[in-house]
Amino acid sequence: MSSIGTGYDLSASQFSPDGRVFQCEYAMKAAEMSGTAIGLRGKDGCVLAVEKVITSKLHEPDSGRRIYTIENSIGMVVCGLITDGRAVVNYALKEAQSYRRQYGQTIPLKILNERLSSLFHAYTLYSAVRPYGVCIILTTWTEENGSEIYSIEPSGVSFGYYGCAAGKTKQGARTEIEKLKLSSLSARELLNEGAKIIYRVNEDSSDSDTKFKLELSWVGKDTNGIHQMCPVNLYEEAKAAASAAMEQGDSDIE
Amino acid sequence: MSNNGINFTPLWNNGPVPGNFYNFPQNQVKSNSIDDFGVQRNSGPITTGTSIVAVRYDKGVIIAGDKLVSYGNLARYHNVDRVFKINEYITLGMSGDYADFQFIKQYIDENILADFSMDDKITLKPKDLFTWLTRILYNRRSRFNPLWLDMVVGGMQTESEPFLGHINVRGRAYTNDVISTGYGTHLALPLLREYSEKGPLDEAKALELVKTCMEVLYYRDCRGYPKYSQANINDKGCTVTDQLVKENWDLALSIKGY
């Protein structure tokens, strides 16, 4: 960034002369520092997969979760500053609760996405606050609307996706996702595909020797529309499929 | 003369009377408005569910309650659930004001959802809900604005330990092997106790007992109803099913003289 030090990056409430808000871009950088997370939207459900980097041998592998459950059917994954992420998760839980109190039903993902986007955006408008240093991916599956995935950036920009990636190697992950025929894959199959992609992008990245734990969750017909962490047997199967694919890839190179 | 001939005339008239409170003439406040005596809170239930019958047997709990919600003596709403599955470990039966129950049920459901969102494999157990409800009802009665509810919480505290407790409108709570609310206290409880005092019941016996109680309640309780829901919870899980009292009015033909 050539404009660093020009003084236009000190506040989230000031544009640079060429029309950028540097604080937003820095927040995006912060969000890109964490391990990759992907969301895949299949024909009968969605899958979230995360490369949760374990920074110390002394950490418990289950701690520092990145996938959260908002409401029964809504899953959310956080990329970036984990503490900012928790604040966003709390806000999302509150929004979901208040919607249910008013209307007696689960908040539609579209509405939750709008409300969270507004929150993110509000944090780019004032000099007294900084933007959230996180990207989030929201997912659900309902009988009426089928699979849905939304992703929100620190700037408050959000889109609906067929498949999306955030975090360190999001470019690589996106390329991998584009190879999949998402609309014809079931959630069950996407578990394996998700695991494969996470393992692959981890190996291709510069710090492939760092330890990470794969986090997998899904929501869809198979889970009766409940978002949950992937059951142990399917998790192991997905991991095995990923390892097999990796070895396959290695032998191809040889 | 009653005063031994001595004539006592009052020292003054139209003034303060010795030994009495005195109100200054300009300062008389009439204190008869209802507003001068605090606030009148709700003093009774409006739309009500009648008895709940509950039994803790050796491996689980059964809670039953009919599907009628009355408006005074009027059988106003038929086919309303009064027995609920809260989660895999808890069932809840209510009698008393149905609006108050709907209010509190929403809070329970919110809590269950928040619990689910934690995603930590720790779930609410019957004793937790029981204690929580106790606090809420007691708090409300202490504000002189009670939730008019009689509730029965049952479920599996651990895989092998069934739990059954009762909370009343004022937050008084106890646990027992057999519990009944409303008219059931008079009509069903003696029946339930007759069996439970002989030792722990098994599932078959408990089911039969609950069935008998619901029958008796239907025949004798004016606010009774033949359709009832029955929750059965044990280590195999929690189910709520609809049941029907088999009516037999043959006896009615022989009743004469009314």
- What percentage of chain B carries pLDDT values higher than 90? 76
- List, as one string, the DSSP characters of B220-250: H-TT--SEEEEEEEETTEEEEEEEE-----H
Mutate to test the interface with A, among B119, B121, B122, B123 (most CBs of A within 10 A): B119
Question: Which residues make beta-bridge pairs with A146?
Answer: A142
Instruction: Give the length of chain A.
Output: 254
With respect to residue B96, please indicate whether it lies within any of the assigned structural domains. yes
With respect to residue B154, please indicate whether it lies within any of the assigned structural domains. yes
Tokens of B258: 């009314």
Residue B253 is predicted with a pLDDT of 87
Mean pLDDT (whole number) for B1-8: 67
Query: Distance between CA atoms of B81 and B242, rounded to whole angstroms?
Result: 9
The residue of chain A nearest to residue B106, with distances taken between CA atoms, is A101
Residue B28 is predicted with a pLDDT of 61
Say yes or no for a CB contact (<8 Å) between B113 and A72: yes
Say yes or no for a CB contact (<8 Å) between B117 and A229: no
Q: Which residues of B206-234 are buried (b: 16+ CB within 10 A; e: fewer)?
A: bbebbbebbbbbbeebebbbbbbbbbbbb
Residues 6+ apart with CB under 8 A from B29: none
With respect to residue B36, please indicate whether it lies within any of the assigned structural domains. no
C-alpha count within 13 angstroms, C-beta hemisphere, residue A29: 6
Is the pLDDT at B142 greater than 90, yes or no? Answer: yes
- List, as one string, the DSSP characters of B139-198: HHHHTT----EEEEEEEEEETTEEEEEEE-TTS-EEE-SEEE-TTHHHHTHHHHHHHHTT
Is the pLDDT at B234 greater than 70, yes or no? Answer: yes
Consecutive H or E run containing B108: helix B98-118
Residues of chain B in contact with residue A71, where contact means CB-CB under 8 angstroms, are: 113, 117
Tokens of B123: 């779930």
Report the 10 Å Cβ neighbour count for A233: 8
A71, A228, A229 member nearest B113 (Cβ)? A71
Count of domains forming chain B: 1
CATH code, domain carrying B165: 3.60.20.10
User: Does residue B119 belong to the interface with chain A, where contact is any CB pair within 8 Å?
Assistant: yes
Residues 6+ apart with CB under 8 A from B21: none
Is the pLDDT at B12 greater than 90, yes or no? Answer: no
Report the 10 Å Cβ neighbour count for A2: 5
Determine the structural domain holding residue B84 and report its residue range.
Answer: 48-246
Q: Helix (H, G, I), strand (E, B), or coil: what is residue A213?
A: strand
Residues of chain B in contact with residue A229, where contact means CB-CB under 8 angstroms, are: 119
With respect to residue B37, please indicate whether it lies within any of the assigned structural domains. no
pLDDT tens for each residue of chain A, 254 residues long:
555 667 888 888 899 999 999 999 999 999 999 999 999 999 999 999 999 999 888 999 888 899 999 999 999 999 999 999 999 999 999 999 999 999 999 999 999 999 999 999 999 999 999 999 999 999 999 999 999 999 999 999 999 999 999 999 999 999 999 999 999 999 999 999 999 999 999 988 776 677 899 999 999 999 999 999 999 999 999 999 999 998 887 766 55
* Measured CA distances, B115 to A53, A70, A93, B86, B110 (Å): 27, 11, 11, 12, 8
Query: Distance between CA atoms of B183 and B214, rounded to whole angstroms?
Result: 11
What are the φ/ψ torsions at residue A35 (nearest 5 degrees)? -60, 155
First-residue to last-residue Cα distance in chain B: 69
Which amino acid is present at A1?
M
With respect to residue B2, please indicate whether it lies within any of the assigned structural domains. no
Say yes or no for a CB contact (<8 Å) between A93 and B117: yes
* Measured CA distances, B74 to A249, B48, B186, B216, B245 (Å): 75, 10, 21, 20, 20
Which amino acid is present at B149?
L
What domains are defined for chain A? 18-249 (3.60.20.10)
Q: Helix (H, G, I), strand (E, B), or coil: what is residue B102?
A: helix
Which amino acid is present at A191?
L
Tens of pLDDT, residues B48-77: 999 999 999 999 999 999 999 999 999 999
Contact between B239 and B156 (Cβ < 8 Å): no
Question: Which residues make beta-bridge pairs with B69?
Answer: B49, B77
What's the whole-model pTM score? 0.84
Is the pLDDT at B36 greater than 80, yes or no? Answer: no
Tokens of A128: 């007294």
Tokens of A177: 């996702």
Decide the pairing of beta strands A163-166 and B237-244. Answer: unpaired
Specify the residue for token string 């992950």.
A173
User: Does residue A29 belong to the interface with chain B, where contact is any CB pair within 8 Å?
Assistant: no
Q: What is the ipTM of this complex?
A: 0.84
Residue B213 is predicted with a pLDDT of 97
With respect to residue B88, please indicate whether it lies within any of the assigned structural domains. yes
Distance from CA of B208 to the nearest CA of A (A): 35
User: Does residue A72 belong to the interface with chain B, where contact is any CB pair within 8 Å?
Assistant: yes
A70, A101, A229 member nearest B117 (Cβ)? A70
Query: Distance between CA atoms of A15 and A8, rounded to whole angstroms?
Result: 7
With respect to residue B212, please indicate whether it lies within any of the assigned structural domains. yes
Say yes or no for a CB contact (<8 Å) between A97 and B106: no
Summarize chain B as % helix, strand, coil (round to 5).
Answer: 30, 30, 40
With respect to residue B223, please indicate whether it lies within any of the assigned structural domains. yes
Residues of chain A in contact with residue B113, where contact means CB-CB under 8 angstroms, are: 71-72, 97, 100
Residue A27 is predicted with a pLDDT of 96
